[in-house]
A and B are shown apart, each in its own frame.
Chain A
Amino acid sequence: MKWVLVCVITVATVALVAIAWFQSGGLQQHTMFSAVTPEEAVQALMTEIQAHDYEKAYASLDRTSDTDLASFVRDIAGSDSSLRTYSSLQSADVSPLHADQDQALVRVRMTWSSAVGSLDDVRDLRVHRDGSVWRVVWPKPAFATVPPQVVAVNYLSWDVIGRNTSQNWGAQDVESPKVRITSMNAISRPGRVVVLGEIENEDTVPAYVNVNATLLKADGNPIEEEGSFDLISHILLPKQVSPYRIDFPDVRIDAVKSVRMDARALLVPASADPVIAVEGQTLGKDALNRNVLKGELINESGRPVNIAQVLAAYYDTSGKVIWVSDGYVDQALMPQVPLPFAVDIPDDVAARIKTYRVIVNHYSRASS
């Protein structure tokens, strides 16, 4: 009986230690140090990145990697208050592309979680054999720089002086901007109804706009009300047009008789700077064979744009908006430096696209 108790306690202790080891990432660490296959080497590297242990991750790289620790960290963790600096690696899917005796090519799809949703970063990494283990060759990140210069910025900006609340009834105030929904289209998507279209600021002052839609039943009662949230450019300069998209999850289109639209605009201070050009826009496939609209953003101003969001509206042959998609760029837009972007397009929509239009939302920490 005495020995039975000893055995039980011993087994329980070993089990608890094993659980703790698993939970503290011991298995992953073991995998990293073993790294007996190229995939394991990449997976181990991703584990270190996930743990924000960049020094260890850097130490595990192949010696032929042409990068220093600072560049590696900047490449992985982001800089300049970009969206990547507010993100963390959620998961990494590793798939081998090619392998021979001493080197291999492995594709890793990193999924970063951020405040605006998950962001994918797909990279093809070379992996070298180093004795009994495999090590990742991290390519030297190409951080484009522009020569020191002075950029004159003299675009218009608007300030607003509102009505003094102590003034009498009837005292004059500045009018809210006039905005107009120029198109609206309600479509059925798998598991949801989507209302999309475009809105224009018709006024001569900037507007902060929001579009809400209410789906109505045949008897006129509302089914659901939703807003465009971040699928719109909220700040619209005079005559600027923004696409919008409003999703109604778990609603069927046949239950909807009509849609009530509500566009609201507020007069806000704004600046016409920065101007962001969207160059080289093409429809194509990405590395994961998904339909995407890709191109490059160029910040034509003299200061960084910390977070940029690309909004794209797609039109069919009749000029109707058939889809609106968006994508965040997880790097900061440095002045004059092109930065690639890609936004997803559903397969069935891609086949019907005649033309498209892209605009860029931006957030700069200094001028927020």
Chain B
Amino acid sequence: MKASTPCYSLCKDGTRLAWSCLLAICVLAAQANAADLRVPAIVDADRAFSISLDGAGEATFYLIGPDHVVKRTVTLGGALQIQSSDVRAVGRYQVIVCGSSCSSATFDVRATQPAHISFFLHPSRVPVSTPGSIDATAFVFDQNFNLVLIPSTVAFQVHPTNGTSFTRQGSTRLGVTWIRMDSTTKEGRVQVTAALRNVQEARVIQQVASEACGLHIKALPNGDSVTLETDPVRDCSGNALPDGTVVSFTKVDHAGKSTVDTPIKKGIARVRLSVHGSAQISVACGVVLGNEVTVNGKL
């Protein structure tokens, strides 16, 4: 079908139409001639293909895609080769050919095989024994980083340092899949790998000790001072709290109150305080309180 209103004549009218308005008219006019172009309805991204062009003579060819536009002069009456580089992004493309009149057609470009996984493992540190605390989310992309919308199965392989490895699978929906897991009872490194065919992405999460549990100190009097030492500081699952964790010692005696915030070193927090008479000594780690001891004969 020929175009009833050639773009050229509209432009020549002398009226100062806005460029966008002109384009819109051209596209509308061209759409009336879609039958002149034969394009595939769907093509794979990054794959060359050809379009059959009827007619004779030269014409201007436009390819309008989601991320770029191509314009070139073509000869009608043969096949027009579309380069693979022109259709790398998925989405709807529009082809317009303007000779003596304009014709247009549309086609869709879809993602190809999965080639990349963007994998989010959150958080990077998690306390042990915390239900639903680990989120693993995988986005599946093709080689041109187009989101692959066709459902595919991602395997989440979980390898704890202290524990048994296991795998959970998730099917992508609109290009994304996720799983939620509990942290285990043992501290240490956990590697989680998202795998799809021969594509793999690995992330590491650190399971760390939770709050201190059963915090206990012992006092070793030595003249007018006392050395206070915790038992190895552990959480309720038996994991040692990491070195550097602050333990607060508080002593109350006749001279007043004394406090020392001291970090755990080699699993134990230790401090030496001078004592004047009978003294009450307590210990805390964060919001967790430990035992109290009385020194000067009433230990």
Contact of A305 with B by CB under 8 A: no
Stretch of B9-17, B35-43, B167-175, B239-247 with 4 or more beta carbons under 8 angstroms from chain A: B239-247
Contact of A354 with B by CB under 8 A: no
Contact among A169, A173, A237, A300 for B244, CB-based, below 8 A = A237
The answer to whether B242 touches A170, judged by C-beta atoms less than 8 angstroms apart, is no
Q: In the assembly, what is the distance between CA of A175 and CA of B205, in Å?
A: 10
Beyond A272-B244, A279-B255, whether A240 also contacts B209 by CB under 8 A is no
Q: In the assembly, what is the distance between CA of A300 and CA of B272, in Å?
A: 10
B-chain residues with CB within 8 Å of residue A367 when the two chains form the complex: none
The answer to whether A202 touches B286, judged by C-beta atoms less than 8 angstroms apart, is yes
Contact of B165 with A by CB under 8 A: no
Stretch of B23-31, B53-61, B156-164, B261-269 with 4 or more beta carbons under 8 angstroms from chain A: B261-269
Contact of A156 with B by CB under 8 A: yes
A-chain residues with CB within 8 Å of residue B125 when the two chains form the complex: 174-175, 203-205
Chain A residue total in the interface (Cβ 8 A): 38
- In the complex, the chain B residue whose C-beta lies closest to that of A170 is B118
The answer to whether B265 touches A279, judged by C-beta atoms less than 8 angstroms apart, is no
Beyond A175-B125, A241-B287, whether A156 also contacts B263 by CB under 8 A is yes
Contact of B51 with A by CB under 8 A: no
Contact of A168 with B by CB under 8 A: yes
B-chain residues with CB within 8 Å of residue A202 when the two chains form the complex: 286
B-chain residues with CB within 8 Å of residue A275 when the two chains form the complex: 260-263, 271
Contact of A63 with B by CB under 8 A: no
Q: Which of A275-301 contact B (CB under 8 A)?
A: 275-282, 295, 300
Contact among B119, B201, B245 for A238, CB-based, below 8 A = B245
Contact of B189 with A by CB under 8 A: no
The answer to whether A156 touches B259, judged by C-beta atoms less than 8 angstroms apart, is no
The answer to whether B120 touches A280, judged by C-beta atoms less than 8 angstroms apart, is no
Contact of B223 with A by CB under 8 A: no
Q: Which of A245-287 contact B (CB under 8 A)?
A: 272, 275-282
A-chain residues with CB within 8 Å of residue B100 when the two chains form the complex: none
- B244-260 CB mask vs A (1 if < 8 Å, else 0) is 11111010000111111
Beyond A239-B286, A272-B244, whether A280 also contacts B258 by CB under 8 A is yes
Contact of B123 with A by CB under 8 A: yes
B-chain residues with CB within 8 Å of residue A239 when the two chains form the complex: 212, 241, 245-247, 285-286
Q: Which of A150-172 contact B (CB under 8 A)?
A: 154-156, 158, 168-170, 172
The answer to whether A172 touches B271, judged by C-beta atoms less than 8 angstroms apart, is no
The answer to whether B256 touches A281, judged by C-beta atoms less than 8 angstroms apart, is yes
- B120-131 CB mask vs A (1 if < 8 Å, else 0) is 111111000000
The answer to whether B204 touches A172, judged by C-beta atoms less than 8 angstroms apart, is yes
A-chain residues with CB within 8 Å of residue B257 when the two chains form the complex: 280-282, 295, 356
The answer to whether A272 touches B287, judged by C-beta atoms less than 8 angstroms apart, is no
Q: Which of A337-368 contact B (CB under 8 A)?
A: 356-359
- In the complex, the chain A residue whose C-beta lies closest to that of B257 is A281
Contact of A13 with B by CB under 8 A: no
Q: In the assembly, what is the distance between CA of A240 and CA of B247, in Å?
A: 8
- B90-127 CB mask vs A (1 if < 8 Å, else 0) is 00000000000000000000000000001111111100
Contact of B155 with A by CB under 8 A: no
Q: In the assembly, what is the distance between CA of A240 and CA of B243, in Å?
A: 13
Q: In the assembly, what is the distance between CA of A297 and CA of B263, in Å?
A: 17
Contact of B274 with A by CB under 8 A: yes
Contact among B124, B245, B287 for A237, CB-based, below 8 A = B245
Q: List 25 A-B contacts (CB under 8 A).
A: A154-B265, A155-B244, A156-B265, A170-B118, A170-B119, A170-B201, A175-B124, A175-B125, A204-B208, A204-B209, A204-B245, A206-B244, A237-B245, A237-B263, A238-B244, A239-B212, A239-B285, A239-B286, A241-B286, A275-B260, A277-B260, A278-B258, A280-B255, A280-B256, A295-B256
Please list the residues of chain A having a beta carbon within 8 angstroms of any beta carbon in chain B. 154-156, 158, 168-170, 172-175, 182, 200, 202-206, 237-241, 272, 275-282, 295, 300, 356-359
Please list the residues of chain B having a beta carbon within 8 angstroms of any beta carbon in chain A. 118-125, 139, 201, 203-204, 208-209, 212, 241-248, 250, 255-263, 265, 271, 273-274, 285-287
The 4 A-B residue pairs with the shortest CB-CB distance, nearest first, are A170-B118, A239-B286, A156-B244, A282-B256
